[in-house]
Amino acid sequence: MDRRTFLKGSAALGAAGLAPHLAAPALAQPAKVLRFVPQANLANFDPIWGTQYVVRNAAALVWDMLYGVDAQLKPQRQMVESEEVSADGLTWTFRLRPGLKFHDGEPVLPKDVVASLTRWMARDPMGLMIRAIQAELSPVDDRSFRWQLKKPFPKLLLALGKNNAPCAFIMPERIARTDPFTQITEYVGSGPMKFARSEWVPGARAVFEKFSDYMPRDEPSSWLAGGKRMLLDRVEWVIMPDPATASAALQNGEVDWWENPIPDLVPLLRKNSNINVDIADPLGNIGAFRMNHLHPPFDNPKVRQAVLMGMNQEDYMRALIGDDDKLWKPLPGFFTPGTPLYSEAGGQKIGKGDIAAAKKLLAEAGYKGEPVVCVVAQDQPITKNMGDVTADLLKQMGMKVDFVATDWGTVGTRRASKAPPSQGGWNMFHTWHAGADCINPAVYPAIRANGDKAWFGWPDLPPVEAGITEWFDAADPAAEKAAIDKVNAAAVAGGVYVPTGYFLGYQAWRKNVTGVGKGPLPFTWGVSKA
């Protein structure tokens, strides 16, 4: 065999072996299978034990809730048919919809609800508040259960229907009896999809199959409320840690829907005539960095104020988003823009980049040149980009910066330390909050300023807490808004944390997929694929 014959033969052999599979990715997918690239890996699947957004999003397919918030942020009945509350607000009686079934064929009974709520209450901030005033939670009959409280809790339905983790998902009693600090091992719910456990490869894929016995409500679906009609037989989550790979897979038709394309790749996706790109979550996100109120220099309110005045939100947002001005706006407060409690009270001076004023205030505060330990997770681009801006800001203000670039796992541990920064503690870390978690104080731990019980940074600001108490006790929307104005102003004055701006994110999907909506999580009900 001469060289030329050999090369021809090799090429022909290779082509024969591969030919049937060339361009395979764009072909041959069953019509009702949706391949979805989620924001992160589904590393565990217990929505009470692990509270990551990705777990919550998957759980919303598998486990149903008694109530669900709709696009107007109002809790609507979901598994519940009706509820009654006594005149004194102390006794709530709920009746379940008839015919509710778990994926194992067993009916959903009040005992399942009681066990599920009991487990949820041990882990959820609102649940803990309810647990503290609970007299009794018990089944009444085969479809009803009663919740007796020692004190009225007007936000009870919001607690049961809210979408921030951990949600009040309902599980069979035998599963819900698992210690809330131990992971469940059975994934049986009564939601519109069943979890195909045998196909679960953590870090690679998770599969959900349509639950044929699910009975959607009659109302149109709206976020977690209304009829969750599954038009797909199967949803496959394909985990892709690399954005460029996800982008290529979407363009190639290997996947159908990508939850969170990075801004850099959006122009490329927009050029593809087979792909839709649109805002994913209308509630967006709030960028943030927190200062440690326990240690110098941020134990001094004037130093915190100096940082609030010196920082420029546009710098932060440009670092995160680039030049797409539709994706961000300044945020002179702490609550999600476009929601009923949004407030700018007292926030006029923050985020304007007034370095001169900041320096003056810093001098008045008597800053002694203590190094600021600024902890940044470089494996989270959002926090890394914001951290770089902050380091520059502090230097411009004349502060000494000890910039610690590490990974999110380390930040998660270090930020929980109350030790002085020189002994393994910290002065500052960066994060962001989903807008859906910042719509009111009940779902917003980061706004709390109750000292030791507050979120990392442990602000102790009685005026903020007084406003929050007013909000919980408010009888009508006007009173609620007035209370939140007080909270916002006090949070700015005390520097609970530093909002770096409000930003939105995109999602992208192929045009043969219809029904993709906007919401705080990717709702699969109502989505179809041609």
Partner 1 sequence: MLAFLVRRILAVIPVMAVVGLFVFSLLSLAPGDPAALIAGDQASPADIERIRASLGLDRSFLVRFGEWAWRILHGDLGTSIFTNLPVTTMIGQRVQPTVSLMLVTLIFAVLVAVPLGVVAAWKAGRLVDRLVMGAAVLGFSVPVFVVGYLLAYVFALELGWLPAQGYTPIEQGIGPWLANLVLPALTLGLVYIALIARVTRATMLDVLQQDYVRTARAKGVAQGGVLFVHALKNAAVPIVTVIGIGIALLIGGAVVTETVFAIPGLGRLTVDAILRRDYPVIQGVVLLFSFTYVLVNLAIDLLYTLIDPRIRY
| Least spacing, CB of residue 98 vs partner 1, in Å | 35
Q: State the DSSP string of 442-481.
A: GG-GGG--BGGGSSTT--B-HHHHHHHHHHHH--SHHHHH
Cβ neighbours for 7, distance < 8 A, ≥ 6 positions apart: none
Cβ neighbours for 217, distance < 8 A, ≥ 6 positions apart: 77, 78, 97, 226, 227, 228
**Cβ closest to partner 1, residue 192 vs residue 387:** 387
Give bridge partners of residue 92 from the DSSP assignment: 85, 147
Place of tokens 């014959």: 5
Residue 297: cis peptide before it, omega within 30 degrees of 0: yes
On the 0-12 / 13-18 / 19+ scale of CB atoms within 10 A, 122 is middle
- What residue ranges bind partner 1 (CB under 8 A)? 17-18, 20-26, 41, 43-44, 49-52, 123-125, 165, 179, 181-183, 185, 201-205, 238-242, 244-246, 248-249, 251-252, 254, 379, 406-410, 412-414, 416, 431, 445-446, 453, 455
Closest CA to 342 of 327, 350, 332, 329: 332
Place of tokens 């943030």: 288
| Least spacing, CB of residue 123 vs partner 1, in Å | 7
| Least spacing, CB of residue 411 vs partner 1, in Å | 9
Closest CA to 58 of 246, 179, 202, 219: 202
**Cβ closest to partner 1, residue 222 vs residue 285:** 285
Which residue type occupies 377? A
| Least spacing, CB of residue 46 vs partner 1, in Å | 8
**Cβ closest to partner 1, residue 102 vs residue 455:** 455
**Cβ closest to partner 1, residue 124 vs residue 256:** 124
| Least spacing, CB of residue 291 vs partner 1, in Å | 17
Question: For 95-193, where are the alpha helices, taking DSSP H only?
Answer: 110-121, 125-132, 156-161, 173-176
| Least spacing, CB of residue 77 vs partner 1, in Å | 26
**Cβ closest to partner 1, residue 196 vs residue 355:** 196
**Cβ closest to partner 1, residue 124 vs residue 354:** 124
**Cβ closest to partner 1, residue 94 vs residue 257:** 257
| Least spacing, CB of residue 49 vs partner 1, in Å | 7
Which residue type occupies 57? N
